[in-house]
Amino acid sequence: MHANKSVFLAISSLFISIGFLAIGYGMIMTFIGVFLKENGTSDIIIGLINAAFFLGAMASSIFSQKIISTVGHIRSFVTFASLMVITFLLHSLFLNEFFWALLRLISGFAYYGLLIILESWLNEKSSNEQRGQILAIYTTVFYLATALGQLLLNIDEDFKHMIFSIGAILVLFSVVFIAMTKIKEPILKPFERYSFPKLFNVVPLAVTGSFISGFLIGGFFTMIPLYILKVFDSKEVLSFFMTFTLLGGLLCQWPIGKLSDIYGRRKLISFTGFLTAIFSLLFILLPPSETMIYILGFLLGVSIFCIYPLSLSRANDVIDENKDIVEISRALLFAYGTGSFFAPITIGLGFNYMNHQVVFIIFTIFGIYLAFYSLSKKRVADDDMSVFVNVPLASSSVMPEIDPRQDQEWVDEQQHNHEE
């Protein structure tokens, strides 16, 4: 017990750093579209600028590990954090759409590089017995901090240009806690990319669910704020809507996970797909009011934030012990990132040529498709099922190494506890 306390005390600085980063991440991710819209930028250009962030994230998963391995974790953390601070401050100096797209690309690369560093440190300090607890804390911190970031959008109108400066300060706070850490720097192991056609043949539902989940969550952060502003013309309503949605996503993880352990991932993925479609339709059909939009936001969070962890669990159920779970999980994460990249572009085109309700039409189509596609797949036998594990709404290529399902003893113990 004492050893456990000492480990959690040692990595507390990592959780604090993650918290500051997530507050800044959530706040800036939402505010970018709001700021651009208020300055007359077209919806398709906003979509392209937001997509650049996820393109940077995908590039980071491929290239940033080389940088970290070469210069070390602390130097890399300071470098990536400095890049984020520089991009945030340059946003506030002047507005040029092409330049902002470049800044979003760089900040996406830097942000996900920071996640790789933090998650590899967490992995280094996690024993097999502690991975489940550490991942649960990480997920909770990430959701709550990102939700808190949304509330900062309520800043007084006279100070709205300070948002980027506040984001820069939050990133710098995360540097303070990392620069002073005494945690030993881990060694990042090189990893091979898993073939997507091969992966799709093995776990098609997991790949499809990961892509759709990335699309829905990417669309939620980057383009739904424009819909809320169009309907309510209020950053206060927007900030509370985003917060309620994230809280819905956090609170549903445990019950959805338990239900999926009982009834199987296939049915729960289908169920969350149907819920996504139904709640998206309600945004279109019900007359808008502040109370209603908060309720619908919470319900939308319940559906869209569960699809990726359910898809990851489906992959763990289907793949056998001869395949590399970590590499397959990384490939699913890449599918998730690809979906996030295409979301703002697709929705931005829809905004440009139709109206702002098109975001929920697209969400409805994806939800219905996922629901029926899931039911078309074979059921996994109860004896072959793994256990559900919550994951953060944004994570790096190191996250699969923290997943406690790598340890079969842990899985067996959780299944035994569930049966009791």
- Above 90 in pLDDT, residue 73? no
* Percentage of the chain exceeding pLDDT 90: 39
Q: For the ranges 66-75, 267-276, 285-294, 375-384, which has the lowest average pLDDT?
A: 375-384
Mean per-residue pLDDT for 315-332?
71
pLDDT at 359: 94
- At residue 5, the pLDDT reads 58
Instruction: State pLDDT tens for residues 99-153.
Output: 999 999 999 999 988 988 888 888 777 666 677 778 888 888 999 999 999 988 8
Integer angstrom CA distances of residue 99 from 102, 105, 279: 5, 10, 36
Residue that wins the pLDDT comparison between 196 and 155: 155
Q: 348 near 46, Cβ under 8 Å?
A: yes
What string of DSSP letters covers 128-139?
Answer: TTTHHHHHHHHH
**pLDDT of 335 above 60:** yes
Residue 388 in contact with residue 315, Cβ under 8 Å?
A: no
Find the range with the poorest average confidence among 258-262, 277-281, 403-407: 403-407
CB 156 within 8 A of CB 410: no
CA angle 140, 194, 403 (to 5 degrees): 25
pLDDT at 269 over 70: yes
Would you give the distance in Å from CA 127 to the centre of its chain? 24
By CB atoms closer than 10 A (0-12, 13-18, 19+), residue 241 is: buried
Q: Which residue has the higher pLDDT, 194 or 33?
A: 33
The highest-confidence range among 190-204, 280-294, 310-324, by mean pLDDT, is 280-294
Question: What pLDDT is attached to residue 66?
Answer: 83
Q: Would you call 162 exposed, middle or buried from its count of C-beta atoms within 10 A (0-12, 13-18, 19+)?
A: middle
pLDDT confidence of residue 52:
95
Q: Residue 8 has what pLDDT?
A: 64
- How deeply is 323 buried, as exposed, middle or buried, from its count of CB atoms within 10 A (0-12, 13-18, 19+)? middle
Rg over alpha carbons for the chain, rounded to the nearest Å, is 20
- Give the C-alpha separation, 8 to 154, whole Å: 34
Q: How far apart are CA 40 and CA 71, in angstroms?
A: 42
Tell me how far the alpha carbon of residue 38 is from its chain's centroid.
26
Nearest alpha-carbon partner for 366 in 387, 390, 342, 388: 342
Check residue 390 and give its pLDDT. 77
The pLDDT value given to residue 10: 65
Please give the pLDDT value at position 397: 73
pLDDT at 340: 94
**How far is Cα 28 from Cα 394, in angstroms, rounded to an integer?**
14
Checking if the pLDDT of 299 tops 80, the result is yes
What span, in angstroms and rounded, lies between the C-alpha atoms of 229 and 236? 10
Question: Token match 């239900």: residue?
Answer: 259
Give every CB contact of residue 192 below 8 A, 6+ residues apart in sequence.
Answer: 327
**Per-residue model confidence (pLDDT) at position 322:** 43
Distance from C-alpha of 289 to C-alpha of 181, rounded to nearest angstrom: 47
Given this model, what pLDDT does residue 354 score? 84
Helices then strands, counting H and E runs in the chain, come out as 18, 0
Taking the C-alpha atoms of residue 357 and residue 224, their distance in angstroms, rounded to an integer, is 9
Place 215 in a pLDDT band, splitting at 50, 70 and 90: very high
How many Cβ atoms sit within 10 Å of the Cβ of residue 234? Answer: 14
- Confidence check: pLDDT of 1 > 50: no
- Within 10 angstroms of residue 17's Cβ, the number of other Cβ atoms is 26
In this structure, is the dihedral angle defined by the CA atoms of residues 323, 327, 333 and 338, taken in order, positive or negative? negative
Residue 49: pLDDT over 80: yes
The per-residue pLDDT for 3 is 46
pLDDT tens digits, one per residue of 226-252: 999 999 988 899 999 999 999 999 998
Tokens 């850490």 belong to: 181
Distance CA 340, CA 212 (A): 9
The contacts of residue 51 (CB under 8 Å, 6+ apart) are 222, 341, 342, 343, 344, 345
Mean per-residue pLDDT over the chain, rounded:
84
Cα separation of 300 and 279, whole Å? 6
Neighbours of 181 (CB within 10 A): 19
Domains and their CATH numbers in the chain: 2-187+195-419 (1.20.1250.20)
> Which residues make Cβ contacts (< 8 Å) with residue 140, sequence separation at least 6?
250
